[in-house]
Amino acid sequence: MNPKNRRSRRLAVIAGLILAALLAVQIVYACEPCPEVLTFEETVAEADVIIIGERVGLGPSTGDGPDWITVKVYEVLKGSVSENRIRINSWDGMCPYGIVVEDGLYVMILDEYSGGYDSVHWGCGVKTFPVESEMVMMGDGPVPVDDFVQMLPDGKREIIAPLDDAGRSFGLLETSVIAGAVGLCLAVSAVVVVGVMIVVSRRKKRAKSE
């Protein structure tokens, strides 16, 4: 066999192996579609906890979004929570299997596990509804919170904090972060000023000695 043909064949084989490896990586990291999607009734029946809450903190990100979020609980509509702030799984790499929300109040339908909370049925069900002015914004239209509770098995309305307080927690978090950043800047500035003064003082002493 011609050495050039042999080399070309080897390069083609190597290129094929590289392409196959890349395709395998894409398959591994692709978000798996749900084999089945639970209805609203099935999701709330399977849920351990249903709350009205607000995102007040973000965990680190190893993909397209935060791995987890910290949520302040305002009302418990099913089940119970031991704290008024809970950690909920959000993104799994590039896949939004958990609870993904923006600022504001949401009904969050959750499963509980050791260490935190997650969406029901690995994200293959109903996960959240926005809440505005005591109304749950469902697909068919807004529903009063009291009426929404009646749609839940073992539904209740345990108030942890007034819904009117929503938005203040995240504002306080942002304020504390800004205050910390300002304090750090002032501390660094003070160190720089002291350093400059020490350098100037040494130069003056050196000039006198000369």
41-93 pLDDT, tens digit per residue, is 999 999 999 999 999 999 999 889 999 999 999 999 999 999 999 999 999 99
Which CATH number characterizes residue 137's domain?
2.40.50
Q: Where are the beta strands (DSSP E) in 3-93?
A: 49-58, 68-78, 85-89
Domain annotation covers residue 35: no
Residue 12 belongs to what domain range? 1-30
User: In what helix (H) or strand (E) does residue 27 lie, and over which residues does it extend?
Assistant: helix 3-29
Assign 115 a pLDDT band (cuts: 50, 70, 90). Answer: confident
Tokens found for residue 115 = 């260490």
Residues 101 and 186 in one domain: no
pLDDT of residue 165: 86
Residues 7 and 47 in one domain: no
Residues 143 and 44 in one domain: yes
Residues 66 and 81 in one domain: yes
What is the domain count for the chain? 3
pLDDT of residue 188: 41
CA 57 to chain centre: 8
Backbone angles phi, psi at 144, to 5 degrees: -55, 145
- Distance, CA of 117 to CA of 114 (rounded, Å): 8
Residue with the larger pLDDT of the pair 77 and 30:
77
Assign 28 a pLDDT band (cuts: 50, 70, 90). Answer: very low
Residue with the larger pLDDT of the pair 196 and 113:
113
Residues 138 and 63 in one domain: yes
Strand partners, 52: 75, 107
Helix (H, G, I), strand (E, B) or coil at 19: helix
Domain annotation covers residue 83: yes
The distance between the two most distant Cα atoms of the chain, rounded to a whole number of Å, is: 90
Residues 56 and 137 in one domain: yes
Residues 128 and 191 in one domain: no
Residues 90 and 8 in one domain: no
Residues 173 and 130 in one domain: no
Residues 52 and 151 in one domain: yes
pTM listed for this prediction: 0.69
Q: How many other C-beta atoms lie within 10 A of the C-beta of residue 79?
A: 15
Over 135-174, what HEC string results?
Answer: EEEECCEEEEHHHHHHCCCCCCCEECCCHHHCCHHHHHHH
Residues 69 and 161 in one domain: yes
Residues 133 and 48 in one domain: yes
